[in-house]
């Protein structure tokens, strides 16, 4: 089985981003561009440099409150997300909380025809299964692409996340657990229907993340 991958690119310079993206996409099916690593003023230049590769990219602008690097205002972040949407990347990662709180913003993104990846993270724990299923149901209202990631402290936590694949129907679910205890979920999620798994180009940017070369050696 060939494992489909999405390699995370965490550069803060447009030219270096273009170089790393080219390198990553030679080996990976998709790439995630973490625009929250950039200064906001540099994002337009970065978009122009990589616009021809964006059809294979997940674009993310994660705020600090969600474990990312973006420290500007929420209005500024939404303006940048709208700009990214105009370039029609493969997927635009937007947090569930952001979408739930702003219907006008949701409409604006959907008008751009860019597909949303609705994401939800819990960096401290894995909630109970009833709560996870409820969250999944609510997230599916915004897009067919849904990402749910939690911190696993036990193998039981990890199996809870994987059991979400029993309820996906047409949803393209990317659900796995963070942490060394649960690294196996990053592989098993692919066997259960995930369109891809996140990997690092070099150093891992999340607990338990495999590198691109590690995954390729398993395929």
DSSP string, 160-212: HHHGGGGG-TT-EEEEEEESGGGTTHHHHHHHTT-S-EEEESSS-SSTTPPBH
CB neighbours of residue 193 within 10 Å: 15
Q: For 93, phi and psi rounded to 5 degrees?
A: -75, 120
pLDDT at 209: 87
| Model pLDDT, residue 207 | 73
Residues in the chain with pLDDT < 70? 1
Q: Which of 78, 147, 160, 183 is catalytic?
A: 147
Q: Is 121 a catalytic residue?
A: yes
pTM of the predicted model as reported, rounded to 2 decimal places: 0.95
Every domain of the chain and the residues it spans: 5-218
Residue 168, pLDDT score: 81
Note if 170 is an active site residue. Answer: no
Question: Which one of the listed residues 121, 140, 160, 183 is annotated catalytic?
Answer: 121
Q: Could you tell me which of 130, 61, 143, 51 has the C-alpha nearest to residue 89?
A: 51
Strand partners, 120: 148
Return d(Cα 88, Cα 57) in angstroms, integer: 10
Q: Quick one: 5-218 is in which CATH superfamily?
A: Aldolase class I (3.20.20.70)
* Phi, psi dihedrals of residue 155, rounded to the nearest 5°: -65, -35
What is the reported pLDDT for 199? 95
What the block records as the tokens of 73 is 């205002």
User: Rounded to the nearest 5°, which phi and psi values hold at 176?
Assistant: -155, 175
Q: Are 106 and 99 a contacting pair, CB within 8 Å?
A: yes
């Amino acid at each position: 089985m060939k494992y489909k991958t999405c390699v995370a690119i965490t550069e803060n310079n447009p030219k270096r981003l273009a170089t790393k993206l080219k390198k990553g996409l030679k080996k990976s099916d998709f790439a995630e561009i973490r625009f929250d690593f950039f200064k906001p003023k540099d994002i337009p230049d970065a978009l122009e440099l990589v616009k021809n590769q964006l059809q294979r990219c997940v674009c993310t602008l994660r705020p600090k409150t969600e474990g990312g690097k973006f420290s500007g205002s929420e209005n500024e972040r939404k303006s940048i997300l709208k700009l990214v949407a105009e370039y029609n990347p493969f997927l635009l990662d937007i947090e569930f909380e952001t979408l739930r709180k702003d219907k006008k913003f949701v409409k604006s993104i959907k008008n751009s025809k860019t597909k949303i990846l609705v994401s939800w993270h819990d960096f401290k724990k894995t909630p109970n299964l009833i709560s996870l299923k409820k969250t999944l149901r609510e997230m599916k209202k915004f897009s067919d692409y849904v990402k749910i990631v939690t911190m696993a402290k036990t193998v039981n936590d990890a199996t809870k996340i994987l059991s979400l694949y029993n309820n996906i129907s047409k949803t393209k679910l990317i659900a796995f657990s963070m942490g060394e205890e649960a690294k196996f979920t990053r592989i098993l999620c692919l066997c259960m229907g995930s369109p891809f798994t996140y990997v690092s180009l070099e150093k891992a940017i999340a607990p338990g993340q495999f590198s691109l070369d590690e995954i390729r050696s398993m395929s």
